[in-house]
Amino acid sequence: MAQSGTMAQTARTGEESEVLDKGEGGTLSLSARVAPDYADSGRSRVALMPGLEYRWASGWFASTERGVGYNFAKGAALQYGLGLGADMGRQASGTLSGMGDVDARMEYAAFVQYALERDVQLSSSLRYGSGNDRQGLVVDVGAAYSTDLAPRWKLGIGVGASWANAPYMQTYFGVSDTQSSQAGFAVYTPGAGLRDLTSNLTLGYALAPGLTLAGGLAASTLLGDARNSPIVQSSNRVSASLSLRYAF
């Protein structure tokens, strides 16, 4: 339902986190993703998404997914910083007709990432500014593990959780009096709390030095007031992706 561009999203695999662990360099990617919508479990969205990400040795980075920001840490284990990302909002179409669009908004963000060891990483981020009132706040936490299965094969596993404040929950899962009269849903006022749990599995194959083809599966389940929203038809979602990634 909500789509965000952030610096540290939950359930990230080790492969996707590498950009914050290296010196100057970047990645180009092209990904195809198929995922159903919580509000319309019978409709799947197919998206083809190009990506570009680059980190400078000074600590600055820019990404089509994570926005722009600065990493203050110079060590390999602990990474932390600030930046600007974007929440892409929501269009009121299909079963959400009458709910009104949620405009795309700039988000202020902070992130912390820590490598327990070479193959295990913990990550967290805080994002503020989403929703039409610009008061939405989301806190993401996650853990990722990656390992080499063979000389060219790499496996990544991620788990995570997201907490959201009341303005965010009202924007994406609540139903006001006006929305109720227009869309037919019962009036609903959710509170702050855990929004969802997520997990993913990624298998990558090195086609050539720096060039990786990866397939992934991701699963998420809504929790608490998000799960109980009248606009949610299915609280569980499984998505699949295929991506080509070039590191330089």
Residue 4 pLDDT level (bands cut at 50, 70, 90): very low
Neighbours of 209 (CB within 10 A): 8
Mean pLDDT for the chain? Answer: 89
- The average pLDDT across 159-170 equals 98
193 pLDDT above the threshold of 70: yes
CB 161 within 8 A of CB 57: no
- The average pLDDT across 205-221 equals 97
Cα distance from N-terminal residue to C-terminal residue, the chain: 33
Residue with tokens 């932390």: 80
**CA atoms of 223 and 38, how far apart (whole Å):** 12
Neighbours of 150 (CB within 10 A): 9
Per-residue buried b or exposed e for 38-70, using 16+ beta carbons within 10 Å of the residue's own CB: bbbeeeeeeeeeeeebebeeeeebebebbbebe
At 220-240, the pLDDT tens digits run 999 999 999 999 999 999 999
**CA atoms of 153 and 150, how far apart (whole Å):** 5
Overall pTM surpassing 0.75 (yes/no): yes
Domains of the chain and CATH, by start: 4-247 (2.40.160.40)
Residue 22: what residue type? K
